[in-house]
């Protein structure tokens, strides 16, 4: 859970939340873990008013489960909210810019735009909220990214040619 700058950890048994980490940005939004679940990545919206400073932060998770120091991982070259975020099996992050763009960030924070839904017939400035790889179960392909528009029914499916990271709850 996040509330602006604070990332909260929710205890599934008690339902209680505790402060886990801080991200020095307004509107923390998307979260995903590294492949080994030792780093939490957080995308940010950059506030409600332009210009938006969409950034991705990384928070190391210590052996005892507490958060290490939050670090800026990458700043994307677009004035847009950074919404959903996911990771592939090679350790690349995929970050949604809400205006219809998807960026891939390498483990070294090198970025490239890999999907522009505005050129795929989705409409101008498509407002995207979420992204994730399929599970490989029930027809959801594990080498495809599924993109959820904010104000539209359905999903977009894009074959990425690489599987999403291993997620233990799927096996």
Could you read off the pLDDT of 27-79 as tens digits, one per residue?
Answer: 677 889 999 999 999 988 765 555 566 789 999 999 999 999 999 999 887 76
The pLDDT value recorded for residue 79 is 61
Residues with Cβ within 8 Å of residue 34, at least 6 apart in sequence: 40, 41, 87, 91, 165
Cβ proximity of 8 and 19 under 8 Å: yes
What domains sit in the chain, N to C, each tagged with a CATH number?
A: 2-170 (2.120.10.30)
3-state secondary structure of 54: coil
The pLDDT value recorded for residue 99 is 75
Residue 133 in this model has a pLDDT that exceeds 80: yes
For 121, phi then psi, to 5°, come to 80, 15
Could you read off the pLDDT of 4-28 as tens digits, one per residue?
Answer: 688 888 888 999 999 999 888 666 7
Give mean pLDDT, residues 115-132.
70
């Amino acid at each position: 859970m996040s509330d602006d700058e604070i990332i909260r950890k929710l205890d599934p048994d008690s339902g209680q939340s505790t402060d886990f980490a801080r991200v020095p940005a307004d509107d923390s939004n998307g979260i995903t873990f590294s492949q080994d679940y030792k780093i939490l990545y957080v995308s940010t919206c950059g506030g409600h008013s332009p210009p938006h400073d969409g950034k991705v932060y990384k928070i190391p998770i210590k052996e005892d489960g507490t958060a290490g120091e939050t670090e800026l991982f990458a700043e994307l070259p677009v004035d847009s909210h950074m919404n959903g975020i996911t990771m592939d099996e090679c350790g690349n992050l995929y970050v949604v810019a809400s205006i219809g763009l998807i960026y891939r960030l390498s483990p070294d924070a090198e970025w490239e735009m890999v999907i522009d839904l505005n050129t795929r017939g989705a409409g101008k400035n498509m407002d995207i909220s979420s992204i994730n790889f399929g599970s490989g179960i029930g027809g959801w392909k594990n080498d495809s990214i599924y993109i959820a528009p904010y104000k539209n029914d359905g999903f977009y499916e894009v074959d990425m040619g690489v599987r999403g990271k291993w997620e233990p709850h799927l096996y």
